[in-house]
């Protein structure tokens, strides 16, 4: 299992580097009248690759018995959340952006009511609409903030922020299995320890400081990477690592409620896509606030 996780994790990191590279080459893309970018590739991946998979996994956590039936509604919620934050600023005239953003939750409530009315039953409506709004707020909006960060910063800064968060996961895992003794929150996530938590923060800080030092190199300057001081890089990495751990615990809360170990099985040794994205999602808005120009 550990070997599988290392292989899959390495492939995901390589994939992230490839996406960042191609996104930096093609920062703006026109689709008909719609202008996407900067971050066109991240936008398309989020909307049409990540969103459907996350919708399927999240609907399974919210409504295990009917998740296939309501899949499109969850996908619509995540799509609207991403578009509201990360796409609407470029795709719509300025005077339409705010009305579009604030209309999102209202549209989703109405859509949920219409969808539930098809069952000719009042049972479970509150839980159903709550799950849809949670998909919008906990997955769609945070993914939109990652796209917004790419809009305001270069692709390599976004990739570095993601790797800092995942470094906290990696550091916590290996420190926890090596010297972990004191449980972090035993009733929610029995495998997490305080030793692992601090080990993750240390590794995240080191990775953040390393990326910050690279941002001042000649290669980074030539690639139009915005420089970050070493101290600030380490600080941001630790904050993102802490918030990312909260995102992991948030998903654990959902999985315990649904009675499942993983959100899915698409990634061998790691579970579902949401199992990989959980720490990134909660940290998305924080990353934008700390790193956006």
Which residue ranges make up each domain of the chain? 1-26+155-293, 33-152
Residue 38 CA, chain-centre distance (Å), reads 18
Question: 116 pairs with which residues across the strands?
Answer: none
pLDDT of residue 66: 62
Q: Which is it for the CA torsion 30, 31, 33, 39, positive or negative?
A: negative
Residue 70's closest CA among 50, 86, 55?
A: 55
pLDDT of residue 127: 85
3-state helix, strand, coil in the chain (%, to 5): 75, 5, 20
Place of tokens 């495998």: 191
* Token pair belonging to 217: 């190199």
pLDDT of residue 139: 97
pLDDT of residue 220: 82
pLDDT of residue 32: 67
Contact residues for 199 (Cβ-Cβ < 8 A; gap 6+): 171, 172, 174, 175, 176, 179
Asked if residue 263 lies in contact with residue 61, where contact means CB atoms within 8 angstroms, the answer is: yes
pLDDT of residue 67: 54
Give pLDDT < 50 ranges for the chain. none
For 11, other C-beta atoms within 10 Å of its C-beta total: 11
Residue 101's closest CA among 63, 148, 50, 41?
A: 148
Asked if residue 143 lies in contact with residue 158, where contact means CB atoms within 8 angstroms, the answer is: no
């Amino acid at each position: 299992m550990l070997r599988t996780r290392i292989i899959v994790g390495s492939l995901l990191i390589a994939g992230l580097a490839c996406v960042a590279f191609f996104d930096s080459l093609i920062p703006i893309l026109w689709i008909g009248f719609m202008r996407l970018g900067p971050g066109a590739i991240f936008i398309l991946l989020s909307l049409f690759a990540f969103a459907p998979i996350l919708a399927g996994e999240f609907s399974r956590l919210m409504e295990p018995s009917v998740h296939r039936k309501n899949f499109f509604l969850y996908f619509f919620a995540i799509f609207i959340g991403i578009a509201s934050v990360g796409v609407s600023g470029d795709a719509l005239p300025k005077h339409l952006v705010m009305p579009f953003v604030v209309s999102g939750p209202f549209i989703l409530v109405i859509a949920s009511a219409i969808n539930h009315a098809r069952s000719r039953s009042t049972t479970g409506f509150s839980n159903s609409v709550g799950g849809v709004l949670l998909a919008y707020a906990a997955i769609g909006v945070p993914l939109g903030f990652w796209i917004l960060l790419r809009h305001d910063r270069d692709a390599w800064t976004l990739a570095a922020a993601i790797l800092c968060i995942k470094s906290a996961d990696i550091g916590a895992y290996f420190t926890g299995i090596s010297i972990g003794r004191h449980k972090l929150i035993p009733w929610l996530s029995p495998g997490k320890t305080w030793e692992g938590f601090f080990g993750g923060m240390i590794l995240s800080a080191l990775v953040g400081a390393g990326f910050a030092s690279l941002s001042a190199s000649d290669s980074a300057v030539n690639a139009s990477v915005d420089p970050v001081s070493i101290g600030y890089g380490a600080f941001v990495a630790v904050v993102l690592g802490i918030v990312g751990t909260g995102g992991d615990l948030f998903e654990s809360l959902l999985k315990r409620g649904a009675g499942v170990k993983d959100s899915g099985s698409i990634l061998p040794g790691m579970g579902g896509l949401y199992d990989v994205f959980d720490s990134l999602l909660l940290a998305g808005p924080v990353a934008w606030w700390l790193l956006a120009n």
